[in-house]
A and B are shown apart, each in its own frame.
Chain A
Amino acid sequence: MSTPSLGIVETQIATVFDRSDPLRMRSGATLAPVEVAYETYGELNAQRSNAVCICHALTGDAHAAGLHAGDDRPGWWDNMIGPGKPIDTDVWFVVASNILGGCQGTTGPSSIDPETGEPYALDFPLLDMADFVEVHRGLARHLGIERFAAVVGGSLGGMQVLQWSLTHPEEMGSALIFAASSRLTAQNIAFSAVGRQAIMRDSGFNEGKFLTRGTTPAKGLSVARMMAHITYLSEEAFQEKFGRSAQAGELSPNFGIDFAVESYLEHQGQRFLSRFDPLSYLYLTRVMDYFDPFADEHALDALVASPVRFLVVSFDTDWRFATEHSRRIVRHLEGARLPTSFREIHSSWGHDSFLLEIEQYHETVRAFLDRAAEDLA
């Protein structure tokens, strides 16, 4: 395994929209101020041409690589980003930001509504994939970047990359989309729906006003996370990790936590409580449910006029967004004669594979980006 090689990094905050220039959202609502949490790694070159933007997945954050001071866990994509790694910070200036509606430094439903002085809660406007992109673009302007050499993301991150490429293709050279979808299936939506219901039916939810009423839908949020986590791993991965082994040496039948896998899910659910906001979970999962960019027959017009090079990658045991989801994206892009490459990577680990150091996957990203770096020169 690779070690964190970027050293100590720090999350920064930028205000990218304010009252005089609010964020105009797809729904028609406006939002101000909008703050964005972000990190950068590597150096922007004199031509400002070597920037790469990282879009994170559902519960990710701006801390993609390196270490925070006093912490021993590196950023969520440290195996991918760093000196000599596939997204090589000796070559690229990497920007990773936290998503709009998130809860880790970027404005979201738990932020204070300047109109009321209280958290927005469910008065926060509903979000669209395009709103995420507008905020990423706002950050790019703030950093003086007119065009990214590449925009990269997995899962919900990949969906942001796709949206961005469709609406503002002139702002990127390449688009790298991993384990993502252009349209959720009924099963995908069903899983999201149950997660949201677990949160909203928790007695601590209080119509979303739990922050001001001193309660929290912790049980619901942890159940949502436990269930989602099942979809992130493959059956094979669960079997390999836990099998049917007992948590405490031997099974002693009861309704508590007896199997090791139950203990693992409990741990995942609990850990999530300390780092994620139930409202963000509702808002962000809902964006994915409604995302369906190719439903618009003119979706590809801008992209065809200003082509982007695509790399689409899926993983063969991913059942959250199975390979068919990626193939669908590829059919649309390749069918529009856009320069498109696609690989299905073998991995035992299911959807979460895009976060792991899998040789063929990393070599694929490396080969594609090495070429992009050459084209830059």
Chain B
Amino acid sequence: MIIVKEKPLDEILGFLLPYESILIVGCDGCTQPPRGLREAMTYAMLIEMRAKIKGKTNLKCRATTVSMQCDNHICSTTLTPQLEGIDAILSLACGVGVQTLVEVFPEIPVYPGQNTVFVGSQEREGGTMHEKCKACGECLLGETGGICPITNCPKGILNGPCGGCVDGKCEVPFEIRDESGKVVKTIVKDCAWYLMYQRLKKLNRLDLFRKYRPPRNRAISSSPRLLEVV
């Protein structure tokens, strides 16, 4: 799923203050935590309240949602009938959703309500989210014991572990940051390559670990990408 994190309310308000009538568009697709109709309604309430505090009393929000904000056809059919009198859109989806709305409705300003953080998995206990895939285009998981070196190794190297691995731990501390980017917690993380070694050894496939992997083809995953979907 795509992990998003709410933008600070005042940043959102900074986008919306010039307008009077806002449509808040949730997404029932893969954003995590969910950003559907319920969240859109909560945002509508919060934004109106906050605008009032700031002295802007004529800002009105309406809430809606679409099943997949990354699909331009769904966005167009679902949202077109609701845009009557709307000055701006606040999207609660990931960056892909925001950009889809921009393309579908070029005449209406669209703003992001979320920071798109990563593509990852959720661990229910402890509520942590783990980045899992960078869509590199040449999946190596079959050779690496199912552990992705590109996402899990801070250097993304293909012939690890690097010299920084000590006692199976990574040299780069895993940092959890707040909105302003300040580090609030650091955790010593396992070295991804060491985990791969352990797993491949158990599977009796150290030959895969030992194998030399030539440089990655960066052209496959360099932005922007265009995929011809057939």
**Is this pair of chains taken from one and the same complex?**
no
Interface set of A (CB-CB < 8 Å, partner B): none
